[in-house]
């Protein structure tokens, strides 16, 4: 058996191919590939990596952060003071861990950061072969293909991330001190590194799965952990913030941040406090909810504070979802063919795309809330919240607290921790103020200030909270007369009524009553899981001659009762008269407006819907409360082309 440091034998191996058969099979095969690559055996040092090869894996920095501290700890346990630990990616040396003296010694052989040890560039070595085979191994002395490696022994074990070899750890030492047990140490190091990478990756995934931001600071208010979500919520670029003073991100001298720093200095836990944070050069502060939990040195290695940061917008969105505040109606859901009503829809749809406030005017029950939802869903704010509040339904003393919120202790009975107002919940969306004419004058003044300053101050508070809200107001009152009577502010009237939209009453939409009735009947029958029902001609005639003081809401209520009381598929006049005894003809409406003897009512309804929806069959069928298949059958029945 030849000694490993016999240079003469290494030279013989290069001269005599038969002698190379005495090498281990994996070494012999690697030598053969090295010849094919054209590697020079006389190479005194490996080549340097080309630009970019040091970062073959995008997450190599992340892996190095895990591996280097472990290797530095292991250095103290190596049996030889002249050994060196080398970390590599799939081709290049990325870290050399040793004393300065040992590093200089190995640099003579080119073992330094940036050296390329890929087999096709530097021939057979422990790192090259270990990476290629994906297994731990040793290459010692003359087993190295190139001359730079024949004076040392090397043990290598691969580092894995998600079961793939991404690099490795090699232990190199002088040949005379070579010990086969060092391979076990290399394996221990690589296993520890791979395990730590796995744990870190789980932490990485968990960090990105949690919607709250996590921030950890030490007793000197320096950051030692900042989660990805924290970066996003606080709008801080994802960069290395380790040991960065928190004051460099959240300036304690800025007035908006002083409350946050007051909470940071608390020694006890702080739970669910709402704060505004002015961060960096950003003009708009970040609205957050924070919880601060302090831990002393008995729990961790040093005193720390864990800060959980929640987006107020996300909290508000959850509240909206649970409270049922959302806009479900679109313009496609609104039924009607009356020219005056279609003109109203046209102006409402055009207004939806603007930023201006809108004032909806009309009698009770005409569908102001429905139109407000449709406007919101047509607007650029459609993905934001839609918050509705009825100003007439709240006691005078509660309107301000409902709209603008309140702080803890603002008044007797105030909820602990305070309460968000509707304007905060509507941030980035639309607030619908129904029955605005019933709002008290003092609340009108507060509303005017919100419109002008685009901020709110909760009752009992002093912080100005920015809100970005589009206001749609509605009333059945004559606001101009209210202004003259000094019961409604003139300046607020002008601010709210930038765009005024008048919704006609149902009595002026006689031709829509049949379509509306059929639409509501279809919806109600589906809701109550009942067979399809229709109105008898007598009922329809009575409906079209009724004045409908309650407008569409009254029509819906009557039909809901009729659907549940009627046992036959056709709702008769007797059933309706029982529900609405006051029904009687209106003198200004004649039967000629109701029935054209030359054209069936069903055909009139189909034609009206086709005209409204530009011949769109799906929308027409939906408006009529029938399927597309049924619609096509009826078009064929009346000889109407389906194209």
Average pLDDT, integer, range 621-638: 80
Q: 378 and 243 in one domain?
A: no
pLDDT score of 41: 95
User: What tens digit of pLDDT does each residue of 342-351 get?
Assistant: 999 999 999 9
pTM of the full structure: 0.56
| CATH number, position 57 | 3.30.450.40
Q: 601 and 464 in one domain?
A: no
In sequence order, the 6+-apart residues with CB closer than 8 A to the CB of 431 are 387, 388, 389, 422, 423, 469, 470, 471, 472
The phi, psi pair for 607, rounded to 5°, reads: -65, -40
Last residue of a domain, one of 484, 504, 524: 504
User: What tens digit of pLDDT does each residue of 189-202 get?
Assistant: 899 988 888 887 78
Q: 238 and 179 in one domain?
A: no
Q: 147 and 28 in one domain?
A: yes
| CATH number, position 225 | 3.30.450.20
pLDDT score of 598: 45
User: What tens digit of pLDDT does each residue of 414-433 get?
Assistant: 777 678 889 988 888 999 99
Kindly state the tokens that stand for 342: 């279609």
User: b vs e for 494-529, b when ≥16 Cβ sit within 10 Å of the residue's Cβ?
Assistant: ebbbebebebbbbbebbbbbbbbbbbbbbebbeeee
How far is the C-alpha of 292 from the C-alpha of 213, rounded, in Å? 12
Q: 496 and 349 in one domain?
A: yes
How far is the C-alpha of 568 from the C-alpha of 532, rounded, in Å? 10
- Structural domain includes residue 584: yes
Mean pLDDT of the chain: 85
**DSSP designation for 75:** G
| Residue-range definition of the domain harbouring residue 630 | 508-637
Last residue of a domain, one of 291, 312, 333: 312
pLDDT score of 299: 58
pLDDT greater at residue 19 or residue 276: 19
- Structural domain includes residue 1: no
Residue 135: is it exposed, middle or buried by C-beta count within 10 angstroms (0-12/13-18/19+)?
middle
Q: 305 and 332 in one domain?
A: no
Q: 622 and 599 in one domain?
A: yes
pLDDT score of 45: 93
At 270, the pLDDT band (50, 70, 90 cuts) reads confident
Q: 487 and 344 in one domain?
A: yes
- Structural domain includes residue 355: yes
Range with lowest mean pLDDT among 352-356, 444-448, 485-489, 586-590 = 586-590
Range with lowest mean pLDDT among 163-177, 423-437, 505-519 = 163-177
pLDDT greater at residue 224 or residue 117: 117
Q: 449 and 429 in one domain?
A: yes
Portion of the chain with pLDDT greater than 90, in percent:
42
Q: 376 and 345 in one domain?
A: yes
- Structural domain includes residue 317: no
- Structural domain includes residue 363: yes
Last residue of a domain, one of 205, 232, 249: 205
| CATH number, position 611 | 1.10.8.60
Total count of domains within the chain: 4
524 has pLDDT over 70: yes
- Structural domain includes residue 187: yes
User: What tens digit of pLDDT does each residue of 182-235 get?
Assistant: 899 999 989 998 888 888 778 777 877 788 889 999 889 999 888 888 888 877
Range with lowest mean pLDDT among 37-41, 173-177, 413-417 = 413-417
How far is the C-alpha of 149 from the C-alpha of 146, rounded, in Å? 6
Which whole-number Å values give the CA distances from 429 to 69, 221, 275, 320, in the listed order? 50, 37, 21, 12
Q: 93 and 156 in one domain?
A: yes
Q: 224 and 86 in one domain?
A: no
- Structural domain includes residue 318: no
């Amino acid at each position: 058996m030849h000694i490993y440091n016999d240079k003469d034998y290494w030279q013989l191996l290069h001269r005599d191919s038969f002698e190379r058969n005495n090498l281990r099979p994996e070494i012999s095969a690697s030598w053969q590939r090295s010849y094919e690559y054209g590697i020079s055996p006389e190479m005194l040092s490996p080549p340097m990596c080309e630009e970019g090869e040091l970062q073959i894996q995008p997450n190599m920095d992340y892996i190095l952060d895990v591996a280097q501290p472990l290797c530095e700890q292991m250095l103290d346990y190596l049996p030889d003071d002249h050994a060196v630990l080398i970390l590599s990616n799939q081709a290049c040396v990325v870290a050399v861990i040793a004393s300065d003296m040992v590093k200089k010694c190995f640099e003579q052989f080119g073992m330094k950061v940036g050296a390329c040890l890929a087999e096709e560039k530097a021939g057979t070595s422990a790192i090259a072969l270990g990476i290629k085979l994906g297994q731990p191994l040793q290459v010692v002395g003359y087993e190295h293909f190139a001359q730079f490696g024949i004076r040392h022994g090397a043990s290598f074990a691969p580092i894995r991330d998600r079961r793939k070899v991404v690099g490795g750890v090699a232990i190199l030492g002088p040949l005379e001190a070579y010990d086969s047990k060092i391979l076990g140490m290399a394996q221990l190091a690589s296993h520890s590194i791979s395990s730590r990478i796995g744990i870190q990756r789980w932490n990485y995934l968990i960090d990105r799965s949690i919607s709250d931001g996590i921030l950890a600071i030490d007793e000197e208010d320096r950051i030692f952990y900042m989660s990805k979500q924290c970066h996003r919520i606080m709008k801080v670029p994802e960069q290395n913030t380790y040991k960065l003073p928190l004051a460099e991100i959240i300036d304690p001298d800025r007035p908006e941040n002083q409350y946050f720093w007051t909470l940071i200095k608390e020694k006890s836990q702080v739970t669910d406090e709402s704060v505004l944070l002015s961060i960096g050069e950003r003009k708009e502060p970040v609205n957050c909810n924070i919880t601060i939990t302090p831990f002393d040195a008995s729990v961790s290695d040093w005193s720390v504070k864990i800060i959980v940061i929640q987006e107020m917008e996300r909290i508000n969105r959850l509240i909206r979802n649970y409270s049922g505040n959302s806009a479900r109606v679109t313009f496609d859901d609104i039924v009607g063919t009356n020219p005056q009503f279609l003109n109203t829809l046209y102006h409402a749809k055009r207004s939806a795309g603007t930023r201006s406030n809108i004032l909806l005017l009309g009698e009770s029950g005409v569908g102001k809330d429905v139109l407000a939802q449709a406007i919101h869903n047509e607007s650029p704010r459609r993905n934001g919240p839609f918050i509705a509040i009825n100003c007439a339904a709240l006691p005078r003393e509660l309107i301000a607290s409902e709209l603008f919120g309140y702080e803890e202790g603002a008044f007797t009975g105030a909820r602990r921790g305070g309460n968000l107002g509707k304007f905060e919940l509507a941030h980035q969306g639309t607030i619908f103020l129904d029955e605005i004419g019933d709002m008290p004058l003092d609340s009108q003044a507060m509303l005017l200030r919100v419109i002008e300053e685009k901020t709110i101050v909760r009752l009992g508070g002093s912080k100005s909270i920015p809100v970005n809200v589009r206001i749609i107001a509605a009333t059945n009152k004559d606001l101009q007369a209210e202004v003259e009577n000094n019961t409604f502010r003139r300046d607020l009237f002008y601010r709210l009524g930038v765009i005024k939209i008048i919704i006609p009453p149902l009595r002026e939409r006689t031709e829509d009553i049949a379509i509306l009735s059929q639409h509501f009947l279809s919806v109600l029958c589906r809701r109550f899981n009942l067979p399809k029902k229709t109105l008898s001609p007598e009922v329809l005639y009575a409906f079209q001659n009724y004045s409908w003081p309650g407008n569409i809401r009254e029509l819906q209520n009557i039909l809901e009762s009729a659907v549940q009381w009627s046992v036959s598929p056709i709702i008769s006049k007797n059933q309706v008269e029982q529900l609405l005894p006051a029904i009687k003809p209106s003198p200004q409406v004649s039967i000629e407006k109701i029935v054209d003897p030359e054209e069936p009512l069903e055909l009139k309804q189909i034609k009206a819907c086709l005209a409204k929806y530009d011949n769109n069959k799906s929308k027409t069928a939906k408006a009529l409360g029938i399927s597309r298949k049924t619609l096509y059958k009826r078009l064929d029945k009346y000889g109407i082309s389906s194209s």
